[in-house]
Amino acid sequence: MTSPPFGLVRKKNYGNADADEYLEWFRPFAASFKRVLKDNGSLVIDIGGSWIPGQPTRSLYHFQLLIMFCTEYRFYLAQDFYWWNPAKLPTPAEWVTVRRIRVKDAINCVWWLSPTPWPKADNRRVLQPYSDSMKDLLKNGYKPMKRPSGHDISEKFSRNNGAAIPPNLIALAHTESNSRYLRFCKEQGIDPHPARFPAEIPEYFVRMLTDPTDLVIDPFAGSCVTGEVCERLGRKWVCIDLVEEYLKGALGRFEEDARNAEQETLDESDESNYYKIPRPGILWNGDRGAPLPKDGGKKRKLVR
């Protein structure tokens, strides 16, 4: 379970490779992952995309990485997940807020790979609350019928199983600002890792894909979020990072008061635990009037 340095156009201070060099840089890691992973184990990679320098088009490096894993190292793509961060800023600003020719990039890909088509997994460990419409259906009943798509919806569809199977879209805002980890880093005069993922990302997959006492490895551990999650869930874990400073900061996750702190209990009825996306057409009340730029926005012009 890992989130490697992304192949970003703009260099970060945590050692990311250029997008066009990324595959070569990743090959030794891919070979090592295949060597140490159990036959029924899983490899989960959270990876963000990047943009081609100087133009509003996307790099394909994270898709090429996926293809490399499957064709050269004989991994199987068990499923592709997408992490939507509702708190993501509207970037890249030049294309999104200045020229207004792209929408904000708020999705990370999460590739779930395995050496076998049958890795051990159980989605009942990551269920989510029923939607209001499903609650109404369970309350009022459902008449079995065949949908226009040809799918035959049987009476089993209206069985109350207590919770819903989640989709492969993970909606999770990334707004950490005052955690125990950050306070520890500040007290120790340590620069915190600049690209931490929220704990619920590794927890989702650790819960679904591993049993207690299984070993979880994060080879690009950064601040050791994965290790903190595994410690709490009773999994064995190993976290690795090249930057010693990040590992020193990660110690704050495993201090006695941090280990003894109660895990936050989320309230199913709390609306702040839900994220909603407006339907696209809510504000479609006719055209804006201004014609689209024939050059596709190539000439820089401030659009309000």
Q: How far apart are the first and last CA of the chain?
A: 42
CB atoms within 10 A of CB 133: 8
Tokens describing residue 300 = 């820089």
Residue 44 bridge partners (DSSP) = 112
Compute the average pLDDT of residues 184-189: 93
Q: Does residue 134 sit within a domain?
A: yes
Residue 101's φ and ψ, nearest 5 degrees, are -115, 0
Alpha-carbon gap, residue 217 to 221, rounded angstroms: 9
Confidence of residue 40 (pLDDT cuts 50, 70, 90): very high
Beta strands 215-218 and 236-239: pairing type? Answer: parallel
Q: Are residues 90 and 189 in the same domain?
A: yes
Whole-prediction pTM value?
0.86
Q: Is residue 3 annotated as part of the catalytic site, yes or no?
A: yes
Give SS3 for 260: helix
Boundaries of domain holding 140:
130-163
Q: Looking at the predicted structure, is the pLDDT value of residue 187 above 80?
A: yes
Confidence of residue 1 (pLDDT cuts 50, 70, 90): very high
Alpha-carbon gap, residue 248 to 2, rounded angstroms: 19
* Exposed / middle / buried, residue 65 (Cβ in 10 Å: 0-12, 13-18, 19+): buried
**Residues 36 and 2 sit within 8 Å (Cβ to Cβ):** no
Q: Nearest 5 degrees, angle CA 106-CA 72-CA 27?
A: 65
Q: Are residues 124 and 240 in the same domain?
A: yes
Q: Does residue 77 sit within a domain?
A: yes
Q: Is residue 211 annotated as part of the catalytic site, yes or no?
A: no
Catalytic residue among 5, 46, 114, 119: 46
Domain count, the chain: 2
Q: Are residues 135 and 278 in the same domain?
A: no
Q: Does residue 5 sit within a domain?
A: no
Q: Looking at the predicted structure, is the pLDDT value of residue 80 above 60?
A: yes
Structure confidence by residue, pLDDT tens digits, 251-294: 999 986 655 555 667 888 888 888 888 888 888 877 777 889 99
Tokens describing residue 49 = 């995309």
Q: Does residue 242 sit within a domain?
A: yes
Q: Are residues 196 and 243 in the same domain?
A: yes
Q: Are residues 156 and 222 in the same domain?
A: no
Q: Are residues 24 and 140 in the same domain?
A: no
Alpha-carbon gap, residue 289 to 268, rounded angstroms: 44
CB atoms within 10 A of CB 152: 9
For residue 254, how far is the Cα from the chain centroid?
A: 24
Structure confidence by residue, pLDDT tens digits, 190-249: 988 888 889 999 999 999 999 999 999 999 999 999 999 999 999 999 999 999 999 999
CB atoms within 10 A of CB 14: 16
Catalytic residue among 3, 50, 114, 223: 3
Q: Are residues 154 and 82 in the same domain?
A: no
Q: Is residue 149 annotated as part of the catalytic site, yes or no?
A: no
Alpha-carbon gap, residue 224 to 234, rounded angstroms: 15
**Residues 114 and 75 sit within 8 Å (Cβ to Cβ):** yes
Residue 266's φ and ψ, nearest 5 degrees, are -85, 140
DSSP 8-state symbol, 216: E
pLDDT score recorded for residue 94: 95
Q: Are residues 71 and 178 in the same domain?
A: yes
pLDDT score recorded for residue 14: 44
Q: Are residues 134 and 213 in the same domain?
A: no
**Residues 185 and 252 sit within 8 Å (Cβ to Cβ):** yes
Q: Does residue 241 sit within a domain?
A: yes
Q: Are residues 122 and 224 in the same domain?
A: yes
Structure confidence by residue, pLDDT tens digits, 98-146: 999 999 999 999 999 999 999 999 999 999 987 766 676 666 766 665 6
Tokens describing residue 8 = 């970003």
pLDDT score recorded for residue 194: 84
Least confident of 1-15, 34-48, 137-151, 219-233: 137-151
Q: Looking at the predicted structure, is the pLDDT value of residue 69 above 90?
A: yes
Q: Are residues 276 and 185 in the same domain?
A: yes
Compute the average pLDDT of residues 144-164: 65
